[in-house]
Amino acid sequence: GAVAATPHAAADSDAVGLRLDLADALFEGGDYRRAAPVYQALIADLADTGDEDLLLRCRLQEATCHALTGNTSQALRQLDDLLRDQRRIIGDDDPRTIDLRRQIGLLQLGTGESAAAQRTLRELWKDLSELHGSSHPLVREISDLLAVVRP
C-alpha cells in the first residue's frame, strides 16, 4: 500500500533544495556510495509532490550511483523502471529518454550482456534513424557501437 508522508518538512521546497544540493555535491565529488541514499530519500519525498522532472532526475542519479559503484544489476533494474516511466511521462522522442536508452545499452555492453545490449541499441538505432535520418551524429554513434557488439 501507499506509505504515509512523514509530518516533518520532508516535502518543504527549501529542505528538498538543500538535500538535492548535498546529493549533487556528493555525486560531483565522486562519493557515489553516500550520494545514492540521499537521492533515494529525495525520491521517496518527491513522489507525492508532482515534480516529475526532479523526480526523474533523482531516479537517474541514484541508478547512476549504483552503476558507478559496480552494482550494475540494481542500476539496470532501476534504469529499466525509469525508462518505462519516462516514456509514459515525457515521451519516446524526448532527448532525455533517448539518452537513457543509450546509457542502458552502454551499461549492458559494459557488463557483458551482449544480447541485451544489441537489442537495446538496435531498437534505439531504428527509432533514431526514423526520427533524424541515418546521417545524424547520434545515429552514427549507435551504428559504431553496434559494430563492436558481439551477440
Give 107-147 pLDDT, tens digit per residue. Answer: 999 999 999 999 999 999 999 999 999 899 999 999 998 99
Alpha-carbon distance values, 112 to 91, 120, 124, 144 (Å): 29, 13, 19, 17
> Confidence band (pLDDT; 50, 70, 90) for 151?
low
The domain spans of the chain are 7-75, 91-151
Contact between 98 and 84 under an 8 Å Cβ cutoff? The reply is no
pTM of the model: 0.84
Does pLDDT of 19 surpass 90? yes
CATH architecture of structural domain 91-151 = Alpha Horseshoe (1.25)
Q: Which residue has the cell 533524424?
A: 132
